Chain A
Amino acid sequence: MILAAGGIFLLILPRFLGRYFTHLFTMIFFFGYLGTAWNILGGYAGQFSFGHAAFFGVGAFTSTLLQIHLGVNPWIGMFLGGVLGLLLGLFIGSLSFRYGLRGPFFALAMLALAEMLRLVAVEWMAVKYPLGITIPIRDSSLLYFQFASKAPYYYISLFMAAAVLYLTRIIEERRMGSYFKAIRENESAAEALGINAFRYKLWAMAISSFLTAVGGTFYAQYYLNIDEEAVFGVAVSIEVLLGPIIGGAGTVFGPILGATILEFLSEMTRNFLRGYSGVHLMVYGTVLVVVIIFLPSGILGGLQMGYRKLSKGR
């Protein structure tokens, strides 16, 4: 019920917000979306990827290039980008999981993958698109996924965030979600109970990579310009995972909570610490350190534990 009220509130909000705040909220929904997508593989299945920018960039480049060179509609391009991201995820996933890459090694292998793609992009773009790829401006329309005002983007990102939250909820309630958690907690015990860990990890990877790639297209259509650093860069990979970690990996709302906090902090930093781009990362780093030491399961995770302790009458 709270959700319904909150939902209606969010739907009406743009009427009252100026460009700046609409942008802010859009970013919250957008990073919440990306964080939730990451969370399926990271928080639930327990495979932390430090290189999700790989999928993000694939999505962004696919839809943008298809649009510019072949006139493919960006929505179709978004879907195709998602498929490509999914294939990449299945590829790297089957290699990694087949050869037992786990824990930090898996995280770093994903980082290496994202970097490899970035370098290829750097080289390729150096000649053709030294200033990044720009999407030609058209009349504001849903068809072309371009709008003059911020409000439509707000609604799209809100919808995307709500959709993945709902998806997470469904997964969590069904066998797949429990199987993900089992693999996360103890993979050999999971196998002994009949769980094909390889297959389920690939499922998590497929869902996560598809969704992340789709997010790349949103970014491209929002800024109408992409470059290899912005979509394949390490900063992207890190910002994607910070939300879930801080908010609570393995919870439904953790990533959105984390994204909200991080956006808020980033805006504050921008306003109070006149600095260079990237300085908000300093604040992010501090928050990460504090959370890991004091609240290792994130804010929601910590709240859940605290609630449990209280209800046991300790």
Chain B
Amino acid sequence: MSLPGLPLLLQSIVSGILMGGVYGLIAIGLTLIFGVMRIINFAHGSFMMLGMFTTYWLFIVLGIDPYLSLLISIPLLFVLGLIVERFLIAQVLDAPEYNQLLLTLGISLFIENFALFLWSPNFRALNVPYVKKTATVGTLMISLPKVIAFLFAIFFTVLLYYFLRKTDLGKAIRASSEEKEGALTVGINLRRIYYVAFGIGTACVGAAGTLIAPFFYVNPHVGGVFVITAFVVVVLGGMGNLIGALVGGLIIGLAESLGAAFLPGQLKQFIIYFIFILVLLFKPEGLFERRSG
């Protein structure tokens, strides 16, 4: 374990922030689902993996540019989310909380291993030539696909933010997450809110999958790697707190990146799990808790 010099430190910070934006996008989907439905969606990573594979196959078979494939992966994952919520999740919304977690676990097991069955455990990579570039700023090497991913992630986050603030549907979603009874009283169709919210959540994470496909390996198990990180971000940012998810994502991205610089091998993940347990024990409401009264 050797101490990195300043250039490496700077590199880690930039890298961490860029990745953090993507973590934020993944987490926003998860936190929205929790905020509205109080469901801890274990299958979140699997949906992301599907987003990655969608982009992968569109590129390999039809030559579609990965960023263009967003136009397909986002609606596709949205619809998939709708279906999953409507037919599966809806059945257990009133059940004891463990049941919901177990259900989403079952869904993730199915999706992940079905993908394994279809596409083998081989690691695949997307080779998109124009995106292989790295810009050099001083000593910093900034990978272009990471920057694009970061920018898109911020863009989608902002888009989602405005959707929730300014549109009727968005406001209805926010109302439902804060005050279920009140929402029902004003005639909000809770059923529809649930599957739309879930769909948006999966669409977000599907988009995240598409965005990282150009620089991350594609493999059926990749979801599992990200789902825990997503949980950490969500708990850190406060469950249901959208801005918190984005900030939490940046923090975790930084923590992971700096961890990778200081610690050998796989131990950067260790830091994330450690942070997770600490937050769960000592500040489960998240760093940015907005507790009233």
Contact = CB atoms under 8 A, between A and B. Distances in A.
Judged by CB atoms under 8 Å, the answer to whether A and B touch is: yes
A288 B116 contact: no
B109 A293 contact: no
Contact of B99 (A101, A122, A280, A292): A292
Interface string B80-119: 0000000010011001111111110111111111101100
A131 interface: no
A18 interface: no
A282 B119 CA distance: 14
Given A119-B269, A279-B117, A238 B109 contact: yes
Given A105-B284, A108-B231, A116-B273, A275 B267 contact: no
A99 B284 CA distance: 10
Contacts of B282: 99
Given A103-B97, A112-B277, A275-B116, A293 B103 contact: yes
A113 interface: yes
Given A119-B266, A119-B270, A288-B105, A95 B281 contact: yes
B280 A286 contact: no
B105 A238 contact: yes
A273 B101 contact: no
Nearest to B232: A112
Contacts of B148: none
A80 interface: no
A293 B117 contact: no
B273 A112 contact: yes
A108 B231 CA distance: 9
A101 B280 contact: yes
A276 B276 contact: no
A287 B40 CA distance: 20
B121 interface: yes
A293 B92 contact: yes
A158 interface: no
Contact of B113 (A120, A285, A293): A285
Interface in B170-226: 224
A122 B265 contact: yes
Contact of B110 (A48, A126, A289): A289
Nearest to A281: B113
A278 B98 CA distance: 24
A53 interface: no
A78 B266 CA distance: 29
B265 A101 contact: no
A104 interface: yes
A287 B96 CA distance: 19
Nearest to A48: B98
Nearest to A287: B106
A293 B113 CA distance: 20
Given A109-B277, A120-B270, A234 B224 contact: yes
A276 B264 CA distance: 31
A104 B103 CA distance: 12
Interface residues of B, number: 45
A45 interface: no
A276 B117 CA distance: 7
A28 B111 CA distance: 26
Given A101-B280, A108-B280, A116 B120 contact: no
B57 interface: no
Interface in A82-116: 95-96, 99, 101, 103-105, 107-109, 111-113, 115-116
Interface residues of A, number: 42
A267 interface: no
Interface-central residue, A109, A123, A292, by most chain B CB under 10 Å: A292
A245 interface: yes
Nearest to A95: B281
Given A99-B281, A292-B103, A293-B88, A104 B98 contact: yes
B113 A279 contact: yes
B106 A123 contact: no
A108 B105 CA distance: 12
Nearest to A115: B273
Nearest to B221: A278
B242 to A, nearest CB: 20
B162 interface: no
Given A108-B231, A115-B269, A289 B107 contact: yes
Contacts of A284: 106, 109
B164 interface: no
A296 interface: yes
B99 A296 contact: yes
Select the residue from A109, A120, A287 with max chain B CB neighbours within 10 A: A109
B228 A104 contact: no
B274 interface: yes
Contact of B274 (A96, A116, A123, A289): A116
Interface in A106-150: 107-109, 111-113, 115-116, 119-120, 122-123, 126
Contact of A282 (B92, B114, B120): B114
Interface of B: 40, 88, 91-92, 95-103, 105-114, 116-117, 120-121, 224, 228, 231, 235, 264-267, 269-270, 273-274, 276-277, 280-282, 284
Given A48-B101, A107-B98, A112-B228, 18 more contacts: A95-B281, A105-B280, A107-B101, A112-B276, A115-B273, A116-B273, A238-B109, A276-B117, A281-B112, A282-B109, A282-B113, A282-B116, A284-B106, A285-B106, A285-B110, A286-B106, A292-B103, A296-B92
